[in-house]
Structure 1
Amino acid sequence: MRRVAAVVVAGGRGLRAGGDVPKQYRCIGGMAVIRRTLMAFTAHPGIANIQPVIHPDDEARFASAAAGLPVLVPTHGGTTRQASVHAGLEALAPRAPEIVLVHDAARPFASPALLDRAIAAGRGGAAIPGLVVSDTVKVVDGSGLIVETLDRSRLRTVQTPQAFRFDALLAAHRTAAAAGRDDFTDDAALAEWAGLPVAIFEGEATNVKLTTPDDFRRAEAELLADLGDVRVGSGYDVHAFAETGDHVWLGGVKIPHDRSVEGHSDADVALHALVDAILGALAEGDIGVHFPPSDPQWKGASSDRFLAYAVERVKARGGQIAHVDLTLVAEAPRLGKYRDAIRARVAEIVGISVDRVGLKATTSEKMGFIGRREGLVAYATATVRLPWTTP
């Protein structure tokens, strides 16, 4: 199979979308737009490398949004879209792909079928997805009077991913840069300028570019409509303190303490309870069913592996995790100063924004085994959205 790469352009500021962060980092359905976009490409078996192009100020945002995804180290874009694409192509050049797809990060709904068509069309040299124009299109003059009615049968609205032979597109970008041309709004226009014939292949009406606040509202509503089966699961875990030790693991964070916790894995009660909550929402048993404590391979294992597995079970059923909530009960260690770190780590593993992770820490007012500092407890709930299925 010919090697295929993708450049995902995410260097813009997206001011028309509103909000206080660039639109590609805003969330829809509990997930950053750029993460949804990247996941469409990382999930496609025919695409070998994904090269993100980001704004220099967005390093931390990108790291959070793309955590765990198998993409290349992002490169920084330029002051124009054309310059950003050129930077992505140059970053890919050492890998010498045969075909490259250029895609806007703000188009998160590209389907596997669309990517298939793009790859197939790109083998011909240069091709872009397009949609037939259904409305009549008029040309007006400066005073608002109609001067021409265009033949809509010959018109197309175009999208990304646009597909090209890599060497041809890179050469066209280098030629344009040398000529001082930086005003091309898409790569098809640049390719046409460079003398490359550009074909049209079938686009998708659902492959929308999120630009305005209304676009985000519609996208959110459509996602929620598709995932209307709302499930809530609960989880509980308890572990006893060991006689010795110097830390405990809670919510994926290593917390100094004068005693460790007994358990077959790393005994992270917070993550264990959350795994059970997610599996409960799916009605797929509990952590012991999937990771039996009698199995020696899980001895000392990091519990983030268990939580990542539960998250993948949700994704395998076409769902998403909307919200998680944890309550930790312990006399010690005191958890207040670790609260933000735990929320951030849970959000990273689950793949949701931090504002969808609830966390409370309390004591048992010195009552019971917790009050005697013999152990600690975690309670968790998880809200999961799944596609409706026929009973």
Structure 2
Amino acid sequence: MKRIVFLLTIIHFLGIYTIMAQDATYSGNPDASFLTARELAFSGQRDMARDTLKSILTKYPDYIDVRCLMAKTYSWDNDHDEARLQFNRITSREKKNKEVWVAAIKNEQYAKNYTIALGLTNKALLYLEDDGELLGLHAQILKQIEAQQLLQNILKETKKEDKSDQSITLYTQGEFFDEGLDAMYYGALEYKKKTKWGVLIPRLNFNRRFNNDGIQAEMDAYPRFSKTLSGYFNYGFSGSKIFPRHRIGGEVLKELPKALEVSLGFRHLSFENDNATILTGTFGLYRGNYYAVLRPYVVPDAREGVGVSGNLLIRKYLRDGNNFMGLNLVYGFDTELNQFIVDGALLAETLLYLESQKLRFEYQFSNSKSNNIYKTNLGVNRQELAFSSGKFFWSVTAGIAYELKF
């Protein structure tokens, strides 16, 4: 393959040299040059392919296959505006070339210009009536427009209805085991304040784990640096042995085109006798009224090796951003909740490498004014016992939260 690309490159430069020597007038076999350009384009050498295609068009401006391929290379390189110009030059003269119509329509789909794509499809069907592929594209674009409008309505309604800048949330959850272990209970009371620079959330956590009680004070901050760049900072402190003495977290999130987002950050847990640092991040995307985000956790340790776990959350939004149902899959250690103790000692480091799987269902709904929000979750967990390697227990979790906005 490399030898073929090399030979095509030599042919390309020889062609350019010939053109320059003849005062930029193309003199060659246009069909052979087109085949050479096509091989270059499909091998990833699209700039070189366009040079050859442009040279052909200087003498054969109506060579449709040449101009269509050039337009496609622009579309592949996300230069959708230039691709549109080239496709329009063809369709203004050639009305029944199905390949050109399909490529032009897909160019607008890639650019998420769904209304333009729909208009092109309707126009193409005037000249190519009842064409199956065009009819399929027509139905597909209608679904894309519907999904795009639904997402825009969700975001619009959320912004319109969520005018309150403060809220109080009360949260409680229980976990019940099948191995004769005592149930664990979690609770939290938090206050949220929206400001010009972002969101501030002080929180008080209460846990009861294996008949040991503990309280943790925590603070979250979500600053917004620009329209597409935001952050997350966290600090928590506790004097209880069932919580980390210090919990520190930081993350930077970037919103990308095409409804994508990525983030990169860390969590640091400091215990009385040991510390643990966890690297994390996210990759999220919106599609219609669905949102999916993958969060890996990586724990580097010279003695234990690298511990890896992951969390996949999928949500389907309903009438607005305050109403949704979701599914949460966790493989490996869930760093946000579970900590185990044995004989009064917290197994902070060992726990990060325990094998576990979790499945949780969540459902959030609000009243008509969206100032009262309720959230429930129900899950099942399978986890290795911290004090008996290779032995697993099952547990069921159930929780409810109530948020009051004002």
TM-score normalised by length of structure 2: 0.18
Q: Rg bigger for which structure? A: 2
- Higher strand share goes to which structure? 2
Structure number with the bigger relative contact order (C-alpha 8 A, sep ≥ 6) is 1
TM-score normalised by length of structure 1: 0.18
- Higher helix share goes to which structure? 1
